[in-house]
């Protein structure tokens, strides 16, 4: 039987061999990192090494990295009215998010529903900076001068890279703090916390080849702190997140961060070439529409549709051929619902229902892209024949 072709790296990446080896070695270390004895200190050392690697991936400082259970928790932690720089006491009073954020950001963290405002995106899937500026000005005019703005660096469905540095400049000028969800961008494009100007940045281990269930929230400045942490407990993570650390996951995360940083430039070029090959094939032989095609995008992500083909059917048909892709966002797969990202971009519902995401990763080869194309072109003819009134 032919080997499976995994093209769903935005859902989760295959665990890197180096991360797997580091995590397995960490399993053999018994101490609680909070214990003062030698075993505890050994576990602590592993965590601090990993912290340095994760910080380096985004140009941050190790002491500003807070390990979490993943991107979702880091987003929930970041979206808090109860954060302050030095000795501020007033909570943040408004949350601005773009319409294409991950559900964990759209949920708004600990902001009450009525304090959350959504900023639209343009048809190419990028946050509308003029609308953001206008929203910030409206808040300032109402005397609400302490908003938090949360934007993703790259969208998980389309791969469209957002103008976060420009957005951060606008937000800071209006007195806002800025959180950037860099879960899909990290390791795929540059994401330096200082260059972007993010006050807080979210990462998720399993998108870069670490085990699932570990992530981080990274602060740009040590002075920023949470006055009421999301998870209170034993004071771990400098009081920012209670709970004994997931040593195994954190060590795997550190190893993966180090590896993706070392390979970044080479991987970016290789991935871009593979994606171009995939999209050229889709356009030439399958009349596919690629969403966000004219915007800057992650080198590994293609979201496409062919009018008349439903994504749910196509994903199952491809799976039977040994190929794993997803329909829209993997986080919402299993629930058949139109993509909020494509809806925000103004894509017609019928076409949006056909959106299929192929996302590539470090082990993806040309031969796998070609196998996907061959299967897709063959299957799409059959699937189109099944739709009344649509010619193959």
Give the residue numbers marked as catalytic.
Answer: 331
Give CA–CA dist 212/183, Å, rounded: 13
Q: Pick one of 8, 98, 168, 181: the residue that binds ligand PLP (CB under 6 A).
A: 181
Task: Give yes or no for residue 301 binding ligand PLP (CB under 6 A).
Answer: no
Given the complex with ligand PLP, which of 78 and 383 has the nearer CB atom?
A: 78
Centre a 10 Å sphere on the Cβ of residue 271 and count the other Cβ atoms it contains: 22
Stretch in the footprint of ligand PLP (CB under 6 A) among 18-26, 71-79, 250-258, 280-288: 71-79
Does the footprint of ligand PLP cover residue 156 (CB under 6 A)? Answer: yes
Which one, 227 or 337, has the nearer CB to ligand PLP? 337
Rounded-to-integer distance, Cα 348 and Cα 244, Å: 47
Cα–Cα dist 99/113, whole Å: 15
Q: Does 70 bind ligand PLP (CB under 6 A)?
A: yes
Q: Taking Cα atoms as reference points, which of 257, 189, 244, 248 lies closest to residue 218?
A: 257
Measured distance CA(98)–CA(161) in Å, rounded: 13
Of the candidates 184, 246, 301, 380, which one interacts with ligand PLP according to CB under 6 A? 184
Which one of residues 165, 331, 351, 384 is an interface residue with ligand PLP (CB under 6 A)?
A: 331
**What whole-number distance in Å separates Cα of residue 290 and Cα of residue 279?**
8
Please identify, using beta-carbon distances, which residue of 107 and 263 lies nearer to ligand PLP: 107
CA distances to 72, 96, 219, 245 from 67, in Å: 12, 25, 11, 8
- What is the Cα–Cα distance from 383 to 315, expressed in whole angstroms? 11
Query: Smallest gap, in angstroms, from Cβ of residue 212 to ligand PLP?
Result: 7
Q: How far apart are CB 219 and ligand PLP at their closest, in Å?
A: 18
CA dist 317 and 309 (Å) reads 11
The only residue of 204, 236, 302, 380 in contact with ligand PLP, by rule CB under 6 A:
204
Among positions 214-253, residues that touch ligand PLP (CB under 6 A) are 215
Closest by CA position to 47, among listed 77, 67, 21: 67
CB closer to ligand PLP, 100 vs 323:
100
User: Total binding residues for ligand PLP by CB under 6 A?
Assistant: 15
The residues in 103-142 that bind ligand PLP, with binding defined as CB under 6 A, are 104
Considering only 69-77, 79-87, 117-125, 191-199, which stretch makes contact with ligand PLP by CB under 6 A? 69-77
Find the Cα–Cα–Cα–Cα dihedral 241, 243, 245, 250, rounded to 10°: -50
Distance CA 209, CA 9 (A): 9
β strands within 42-115, DSSP E: 65-68, 83-85, 94-98
> Does 71 engage in binding with ligand PLP (CB under 6 A)?
yes
Task: Check: CB of residue 89 under 8 Å from CB of residue 267.
Answer: no
Minimum distance from CB of 69 to ligand PLP (Å)? 8
Shortest gap between Cβ of 285 and ligand PLP (angstroms)?
30
Is 183 a binder of ligand PLP (CB under 6 A)?
yes
Binding site for ligand PLP (CB under 6 A): 70-72, 75, 102, 104, 152, 156, 181, 183-184, 204, 206, 215, 331
């Amino acid at each position: 039987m032919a080997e499976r072709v995994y093209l769903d790296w935005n859902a989760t990446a295959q665990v890197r061999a180096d991360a797997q080896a580091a995590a397995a070695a960490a399993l053999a270390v018994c101490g609680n990192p909070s214990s003062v004895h030698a075993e505890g200190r050994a576990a602590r050392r592993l965590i601090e090494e990993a912290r340095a690697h994760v910080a380096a991936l985004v140009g941050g400082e190790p002491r500003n990295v807070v390990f979490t259970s993943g991107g979702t928790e880091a987003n929930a932690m970041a979206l808090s009215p109860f954060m302050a720089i030095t000795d501020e006491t007033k909570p943040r009073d408004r949350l601005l998010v773009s319409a294409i954020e991950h559900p964990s950001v759209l949920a708004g963290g600990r902001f009450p529903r009525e304090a959350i405002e959504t900023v639209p995106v343009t048809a190419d899937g990028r946050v509308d900076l003029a609308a953001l500026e206008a929203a910030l000005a409206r808040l300032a005019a109402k005397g609400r001068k302490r908003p938090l703005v949360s934007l993703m660096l790259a969208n998980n469905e389309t791969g469209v890279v957002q103008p976060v540095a420009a957005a951060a400049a606008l937000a800071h000028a209006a007195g806002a703090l800025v959180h950037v969800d860099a879960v899909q961008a990290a390791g795929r494009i540059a994401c330096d916390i200082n260059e972007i100007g993010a006050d807080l940045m979210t990462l998720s281990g399993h998108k870069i080849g670490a085990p699932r269930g570990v992530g981080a929230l990274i602060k740009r400045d040590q002075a920023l702190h949470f006055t009421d942490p999301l998870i209170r407990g034993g004071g771990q993570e400098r009081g920012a997140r209670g709970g004994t650390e997931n040593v195994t996951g954190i060590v795997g995360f550190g190893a993966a961060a180090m590896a993706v940083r070392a390979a970044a430039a080479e991987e970016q070029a290789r991935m871009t070439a593979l994606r171009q090959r995939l999209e050229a094939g889709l356009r030439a032989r399958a009349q596919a529409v690629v969403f966000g095609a004219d915007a800057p995008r992650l080198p590994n992500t293609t979201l496409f549709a062919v009018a008349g083909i439903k994504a749910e059917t196509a994903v199952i048909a491809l799976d039977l051929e040994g190929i794993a892709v997803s329909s829209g966002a993997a986080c919402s797969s299993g629930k058949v619902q139109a993509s909020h990202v494509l809806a925000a971009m103004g894509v017609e519902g019928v076409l949006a229902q056909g959106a299929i995401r192929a996302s590539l990763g470090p082990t993806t080869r040309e031969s796998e892209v070609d196998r996907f194309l061959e299967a897709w072109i063959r299957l799409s003819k059959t699937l189109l024949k099944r739709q009344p009134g649509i010619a193959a």
